[in-house]
Every structure is written in C-alpha cells, then in structure tokens.
Homo-oligomer: A and B are copies of this chain.
Amino acid sequence: MKCADCPIHPRAFCARSSRGELDRLDALKTYRSFRAGETILRSGDVPSFVASVVEGAVTLTRRLEDGRTQVVGLLLPPDFIGHPGRGRSECDVIAASDILLCSFDPETFGSILREMPHVSAQMIHMAIRDLDAARRWMLLLGRKTAGEKVATFIDMVVRRKYANRGDVTDMEMLLPLSRGDIASYLGLTLETLSRQIASLKSAGILEFVDKRRFRVIDLEGLRRATGDDDDGGLPG
C-alpha cells in the first residue's frame, strides 16, 4: 500500500509530512500482521521495531508479582507502538485482535525523526496526548464507580470511532476488546463488568446485537453515566 492511500495517514505520525517525505517513508516501512492473542513484545525486551497501528487493537499490559494484570494502554489506529530511544519495554504488548502494523527499524525511525521535523513534531504531539489520556484513566481507575468506568469506556470507543461526528445514536459499533480485556483496562473483574453492561442495557442506554456489536440508544444518558464534568474531551 502507498502511504498516500493509507487509511490512517490523515491522523498518524506522518500526518503532517510532505509528499517527498511520504515517498521516503514508503520506501522504509514494512507491514507486519499479528493474530489475535499474539504477543508483539514482552516486558523487559528490547523492541526490534516501532510501528503505527493500521488496523485492529493492541493492549499494553503490566503485571504484579502474583499474576494480577492491568491493561495500561489501548492502542487503536493510528496510535504508535514504541518510542524511539527508549530501551526495554515496560509492558507486554499484545494483539487484542487481528492487527496490521506499519513498522520501522528503530534505528531507521531515529533518523526519520532527526531528518523530518514534521514527523518529530507529530510524535511529540501524540506523546502528550497519550500522557493526558493516561491521566484521564488514572482518574477513572482511582475514583470512578464500576458503572461510571464502563460508561466511560463505551463513550471512549464511540468518540474514537466517530470523533465529533454529532449523531451517533443508533449506529452500530464494535467493541475493540474482549470482556476480559475491557475488565482489565477498567480495573474491574469480568463479572462486575458483565453486570454493569447488563445494567446499561436495562437502563435503555445501550442495545447489543451480539456480544461485540452494540448501538447507543441514549447518548445523553451514556455521557451522564460517565460521571465526567462535561465533555471530558477524549482525544480525537
């Protein structure tokens, strides 16, 4: 695929790149795919590539000694895996669904950053966005009730999929993660998550086609259920 035709190009690390830069990126990139459940990078490993998520969902997971785990990051297109110049990974990086990555050798990407200020600026912008998102999630993990957590997660999925396009009600959406991964991302157990989803259904806020496909019936109600101040402004 040519970068110019890439579905994520308008919002990825290469979003601000000139035509000439894109041609160079075209020559350097390699597509990689992983099946759902495959481990892309283990905590403590030195990454052999950095990459943009083109399709699918990737989780970043941390572990405690006794095996408890927490999903600390959810990467959807056009998020970026890895940071140039960082050594060993602090998380397990796992394909939560079948995924397609646009990858680069870390060294090569280092020179791209040095030589393409537009890429470098966009990477900084994305890192700051990630940091803000992580802090929003800290508020969720530390202070929100189970119900608020689940509503916030659904709201985030909706916002990321249909950023700012107003009328989302009744459109069919797809959960990017399994129940288990969602529970882990929210700092809940599977069972609690399941009950809270049931409660959003019976409140007439959501409707499920199957386990993964859902519609928002009452967007206003969903937003109210998040506990957030107003439009919490999740990242586009």
Q: Considering the complex, give the chain B residue whose CB is closest to the CB of A117.
A: B114
Interface centre among A72, A125, A127 (most CB of B within 10 A): A72
B-side contacts of A136, CB under 8 Å: 62, 72, 90
- A64-B139 contact, Cβ under 8 Å, with A85-B125, A127-B127: yes
Q: Considering the complex, give the chain B residue whose CB is closest to the CB of A43.
A: B229
Q: How far is the CA of A230 from the CA of B184 in the complex (A)?
A: 22
Listed stretches A50-58, A98-106, A141-149, A172-180; interface member: A141-149
- A139-B227 contact, Cβ under 8 Å, with A131-B130, A132-B90: no
A86 at the B interface (CB under 8 A): yes
A68 at the B interface (CB under 8 A): yes
List A220-234 residues whose CB lies under 8 Å from chain B.
227-230, 233
List A134-185 residues whose CB lies under 8 Å from chain B.
134-139, 141-144, 184
Residue contact B228 to A143, C-beta cutoff 8 Å: no
- A65-B127 contact, Cβ under 8 Å, with A134-B134, A142-B187: no
Q: Considering the complex, give the chain B residue whose CB is closest to the CB of A63.
A: B229
Taking beta carbons and an 8 Å cutoff, which residues of A are in contact with B? 60, 62-66, 68-70, 72-73, 83, 85-86, 90-91, 123-125, 127-128, 130-132, 134-139, 141-144, 184, 186-187, 227-230, 233
B-side contacts of A184, CB under 8 Å: 142
Secondary structure of the A contact surface, majority rule: mixed
Q: Considering the complex, give the chain B residue whose CB is closest to the CB of A233.
A: B90
Of B123, B127, B186, which contacts A131 at CB under 8 A?
B127
Output the least CB separation between A235 and chain B (Å). 10
Residue contact B138 to A138, C-beta cutoff 8 Å: yes
Residue contact B64 to A135, C-beta cutoff 8 Å: no
Residue contact A86 to B128, C-beta cutoff 8 Å: yes
Of B72, B124, B128, which contacts A138 at CB under 8 A?
B72
B-side contacts of A228, CB under 8 Å: 64-65
Q: How far is the CA of A101 from the CA of B134 in the complex (A)?
A: 25
